[in-house]
Amino acid sequence: NLAQWTKGTFVNLERSLRLGDEIGGHLVSGHIDGLAEIIDQKNEGDAIRSYLKVVRQFMPFIVNKGSIALNGTSLTVNGVE
């Protein structure tokens, strides 16, 4: 949220797409099916591993190496407990 940015806040800057540009990765669209709580995060080299707590009713739909979207960003599931 732009209103929460302060001096020193890190943001992601990307060039905008041009007509005809290839789109890679996963496109994310649709409705919000549920919420998750971030219970821990760990830096692992250039990556951040996030541990999420999800309502039990959604667990059948979350599978190892599947995808979830977190704030519009597609993420790969690397483990389910």
- In single-letter form, the type of residue at position 75 comes to L
- In single-letter form, the type of residue at position 10 comes to F
- Percent of the chain past pLDDT 90, that is, above it, reads 23
Strand partners, 52: 38
Its pTM stands at: 0.60
Please tell me the predicted confidence (pLDDT) of residue 31: 78
Strand partners, 41: 50
Write the pLDDT tens digit of every residue in 23-51: 777 777 777 788 888 999 999 998 888 99
- 72, 28 Cβ separation under 8 angstroms: yes
**Domains in the chain: boundaries:** 26-81
